[in-house]
Amino acid sequence: MVSQWVIDELETVDLGDKRRNERLAEVLSAMAGLPSKSIPAAVGAGHNETTAAYRLFDNDAICFEDILAPHIDACYKRLAEQEVVILAHDTTELDLTKPNTQVEGAGPLDGSSRYGELLHPLMAFTPTGTPLGTVAAELWTREEGPSKADDRKKVPIEEKESLRWLENHREAQLIASEHPETQVVCVADSEADIFEVIECNSDSPKNFWWIIRSCYDRSIVDQHGRPSGNLHEKLAASKVRYTKAITIRPHKPKLACDKRARNQPREARQCELEVRATTLTLKNPYRPDRHLRPTKVNAIWAHEIDPPEGDTPISWLLLTNMPISNKEEIELVLSYYCIRWLIEVFFRTLKSGTRIEAKRFEKIERFERCLAVSMILAWRTFYSVRIGRECPDVSCEAVFVADEWQPVYKIVTGEDPPKKPPTLKEIVRMIARLGGYIDRPRHDEPGTDTVMRGMERLYDISSCWRSFGPNATRSGE
């Protein structure tokens, strides 16, 4: 049985054959029930079902983009309904390293010790953090061979991996031009601090804003183009707009070899930030193949006052074209930038929730088709979690059909389901309890991991409810 949300999400699917379209819907619906399991376990372990799923992933007539296309179309529809949309993009490694034979077509991730592929999606979020889906995605593998780091300054951006930042930024601008009623805000981490990316915003639509975390202490010029110091110097000399107290969460670096200041370990603590903001013009760097223009930007620097001895101070330096004339406008920039972190939650859901890296495929093309399905599944779980926070009082049937929420309610509460559906927040928390979440007062809201584990149990529970529950049709009746 194909879930209603799958039918809605794949409304525009076109894989060149009606049977392929139907098979994709069946596979997506089945894997939604058991996203972390192997493909045979997810689709029912029957020979015919398993063969049909693998035929879909082995079909050279379709590709990653074909499978993801209807989800992108559905995301555009959700995006068009919003007044403001945050478009966040980032890169993640997909580690497909196997102990013996490697996946055919996979490339090196770090030297030659690990093999896999890199994924760079552009994801849409509401200002409160609800994911609307993926609007663009790039996949690539690196080639074997020595690094060309010494020649990087001479290589045009079109021949570098960093081109992905420019292409996704332009894609965000195109989305803004196609949706003039929606304010589009493109946010990126410090890897996107590339002058070509910053300069391309000069010709942006009026409803397009951008925020990039600064990585380089760039040179500044005055209104006549004369050298006028550097970025950090100018911000340090500007006046403090306001101070704010924040709570810092503990942090452990993912890699022991990562020496960047912002990735060093730290303990949880309270701290106070000075927030400065000013407008300045970045000097255009030299490029052998093109002429770049000096670019005017607004800059915000939130810097910790008196950090504990031995701890790296909290420091955010953001470049943007958003207005910064008062505290409220500056706070808006900071709040929009914070949404960027949620793409990391999506990556975690994709990897730990759907266990995409553990799926067994001999060729990279087969893996990519399965990856597109898994990205839709990861979005669906993430969406269910966040929409329950953003719209806690709406009916749960905005996301879950009766055959899904009713058995969950019965099992978790021990009572018969009410005639009036519970709120979305209530059901999401019940599903999370099936996945190990402890529901108690003043406890954090459930995360994607516990909800995804609960969703796996929901699949089996709802199947039994349809077959044996109070509304099941008995044979002979």
Backbone angles phi, psi at 211, to 5 degrees: -140, 125
How many domains does the chain contain in total?
3
CA nearest 422: which of 440, 402, 437? 402
Q: Is 135 a member of any domain?
A: yes
* Alpha-carbon separation of residue 333 from 68, 179, 350, 433 (angstroms): 31, 21, 28, 36
Among 323, 343, 374, identify where a domain stops: 374
Residue 48's pLDDT is 77
Q: Is 244 a member of any domain?
A: no
Cα–Cα distance between 354 and 351 in angstroms, integer?
Answer: 6
State the pLDDT confidence band at 477, using cuts at 50, 70 and 90. Answer: very low
We report the CATH number of the domain holding residue 427 as 1.10.740.10
Domain that residue 450 falls in? 391-468
142 and 53 in one domain? no
370 and 329 in one domain? yes
Judged on CB neighbours under 10 Å (0-12, 13-18, 19+), 453 is buried
* Alpha-carbon separation of residue 177 from 171, 247, 380 (angstroms): 10, 38, 27
Cα–Cα distance between 132 and 124 in angstroms, integer?
Answer: 5
pLDDT tens for 230-251 read 999 999 999 999 998 888 766 6
86 and 140 in one domain? yes
pLDDT tens for 433-454 read 998 888 777 667 788 888 888 8
Range with lowest mean pLDDT among 41-55, 180-194, 247-261, 324-338: 247-261
Please list, in sequence order, all residues whose beta carbon lies within 8 angstroms of the beta carbon of residue 420, skipping any fewer than 6 positions away. Answer: none
181 and 38 in one domain? no
Cα–Cα distance between 243 and 327 in angstroms, integer?
Answer: 10
Residue 475's pLDDT is 45
pTM over 0.85: yes
